[in-house]
């Protein structure tokens, strides 16, 4: 096991398998900036499944047991089940999860589960078809995603979670409907504070609905209380209803940072390692993969993690703005 400068081990690896997306969510890839002329990676610039497998094997050696496959939209990557099959075979990988907008999920679900997918997070910001369509940059289709959620929750997956990014004045009126719809199901709804990831979404603090404000909206209907995390370093704060069963999650990067236990590393589709969601810099792993002694990749990953001291969310208000940060669609959340 290795630890960084703040004594944090590495447990969780998030791999973006695709930089492009079939949505243009206003808070992630606004369509005005990601138009038809936008230059995404060429297919041969993306890591191959064999390369991803080699990278995961090194991280597994250093203590990673959880893998999240993300994007862009990961289900745009062809034959994703083949990658899951490869990763599943790596000793010590206990959990493989997928984060998706759900549009292409229903059809692919059986083969992904068959390959070894354990859990899925589906992003859904609204139950109002028009608002959903608008927030997805006029690309999303709510009915298709709702069917995918039903398919996932009736499958053998260990967990199905929903991610809702809440933007003040945009979709806070969807908090109660989302919770109502999934009460008495096995689906956990999680609310994410709108984050200042990247530089292209014109983020402003006024557009954030804070954890406290989200709780107030929920408590206008039901009493809820905090529950213990499932494990150290869990991203979401967990709450439950007081009067009946059911869990709700909150991701509070803005108002209640959780850098102290952050054990997550992220890899972009072209093989760059990021040690923080808000990084200004990356480390190109591909140059250590190709035509180099087999242990060089392992040695470099250890060096990078051991030099890590990231805690952007905790320092957010002291950091100079305007620096180029990595975009969310590149590293997948
Ligand atoms: N395309 C997939 C999806 O939407 O689920 C996977 C990648 S997406 C970048 C991962 C997660 O990041 C989604 O749940 C999305 O809502 C969230 N996200 C994107 N931009 C965000 C932002 N600025 N603040 C908070 N969450 C954001
Ligand atoms: Fe695509 Fe996900 Fe970003 Fe929306 S949040 S634009 S679905 S990558
Ligand atoms: Fe981890 Fe960086 Fe997020 Fe802090 S800001 S929790 S270090 S990814």
Domains of the chain: 12-331 (3.20.20.70)
214 and 249 Cβ atoms separated by less than 8 Å: no
Q: Evaluate if residue 140 carries a pLDDT over 70.
A: yes
Residues in the chain: 333
- Rounded CA separation 161/123 (Å): 8
Taking CA atoms only, the protein residue closest to ligand 1 atom 2 is 100
> Which residue among 15, 17, 19, 25 is best mutated to probe the pocket of ligand 2, counting the most ligand atoms within 8 A of its Cβ?
25
If you average pLDDT over residues 132-144, what whole number do you get?
Answer: 98
- Please tell me the predicted confidence (pLDDT) of residue 84: 98
Check if 62 has its Cβ closer than 6 Å to any atom of ligand 3: no
The mean pLDDT value of the chain amounts to 94
Pairwise CA distance, residues 304 & 70, whole Å: 22
Residues 6+ apart with CB under 8 A from 169: 207
Within 13 Å, how many C-alpha atoms sit on residue 332's CB side? 34
DSSP line for 262-295 = --EEEE-TTSEEESSTT-S--EE-HHHHSSS-TH
Closest CA to 184 of 246, 97, 125, 272: 246
Closest ligand to C-alpha of residue 195 is: 1
**Burial (Cβ within 10 Å: 0-12, 13-18, ≥19) of residue 230:** exposed
Give the span between the Cα atoms of 160 and 142, in whole angstroms: 17
Is the model's pLDDT at 15 over the cut of 70?
yes
Helix (H) or strand (E) holding 237: strand 237-241
- Give the Cα separation of 218 and 230 in Å (integer): 22
Return all residues near 239 (Cβ < 8 A) that are at least 6 apart. 215, 224, 225, 226, 227, 247, 248, 249, 250
Measured CA distances, 22 to 10, 103, 138, 175, 333 (Å): 31, 8, 10, 25, 17
Model pLDDT, residue 182: 97
For residue 28, report the distance from its CA to the centre of ligand 1, in Å. Answer: 7
Q: Which residues line ligand 1 (CB under 6 A)?
A: 21, 27-28, 70-71, 73, 99-101, 123, 163, 165, 192, 194-195, 197, 201, 328-329, 332-333
User: pLDDT tens digits for 180-210?
Assistant: 999 999 999 999 999 988 888 889 999 999 9
Pocket of ligand 2 (CB under 6 A): 21, 23-25, 28-29, 71-73, 101, 123, 329
The confidence score (pLDDT) of residue 320 equals 62
pLDDT over 80 (residue 265): yes
How close is the Cα of 151 to the center of ligand 3, in Å?
Answer: 32
- What is the pTM assigned to this prediction? 0.96
Q: Which two tokens stand for residue 300?
A: 């470099």
Residue 215 pLDDT > 80: yes
Given a cut of 80, whether residue 321 has pLDDT beyond it is no
Ligand 3 pocket test, candidate residues 259, 314, 319, 328, most atoms within 8 A of CB: 259
- Report which protein residue has its CA nearest ligand 1's atom 11: 333
- Please state the rounded mean pLDDT for residues 12-28: 97
Atom 5 of ligand 1 has which residue's CA nearest to it? 100
C-beta of 311 in contact with ligand 3 (< 6 A) = yes
Measured by CA distance, the residue closest to atom 6 of ligand 3 is 259
């Amino acid at each position: 096991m290795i630890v960084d400068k703040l004594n944090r081990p590495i447990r969780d690896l998030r791999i973006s398998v695709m930089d492009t997306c079939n949505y243009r969510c206003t808070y992630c890839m606004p369509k005005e900036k990601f138009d038809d002329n936008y230059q995404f990676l060429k297919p041969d610039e993306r890591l191959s499944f064999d390369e991803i497998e080699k990278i995961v094997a090194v991280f597994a050696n250093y203590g990673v047991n959880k893998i999240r496959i993300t994007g862009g939209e990961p289900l745009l990557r062809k034959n994703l089940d083949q990658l899951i099959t490869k990763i599943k075979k790596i000793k010590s990988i206990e959990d493989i999860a997928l984060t998706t907008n759900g549009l292409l999920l229903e059809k692919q679900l059986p083969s992904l589960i068959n390959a070894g997918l354990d859990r899925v997070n589906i992003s859904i910001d609204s139950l109002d078809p028009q608002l959903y369509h608008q927030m997805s940059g006029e690309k999303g289709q709510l009915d298709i995603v709702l069917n995918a959620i039903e398919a996932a929750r009736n499958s053998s997956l260990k967990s199905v979670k929903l991610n809702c990014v809440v933007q003040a004045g945009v979709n806070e009126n969807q908090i109660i409907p989302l919770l109502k719809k999934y009460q008495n199901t096995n689906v956990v709804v999680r609310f994410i504070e709108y984050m200042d990831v990247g530089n292209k979404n014109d983020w402003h603090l006024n557009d954030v609905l804070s954890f406290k404000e989200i709780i107030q909206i929920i408590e206008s209907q039901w009493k809820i209380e905090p529950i213990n995390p499932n494990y150290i370093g869990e991203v979401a704060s967990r709450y439950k209803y007081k009067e009946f069963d059911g869990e709700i999650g909150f991701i509070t990067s803005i108002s209640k940072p959780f850098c102290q236990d952050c054990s997550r590393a992220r890899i972009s589709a072209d093989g760059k390692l990021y040690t923080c969601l808000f990084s200004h810099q990356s480390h190109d792993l591909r140059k250590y993969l190709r035509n180099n002694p087999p242990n060089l990749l392992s040695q470099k990953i250890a060096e990078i993690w051991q030099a890590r001291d990231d805690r952007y969310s905790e320092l957010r208000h002291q950091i100079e703005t305007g620096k180029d940060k990595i975009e969310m669609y590149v590293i997948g959340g």
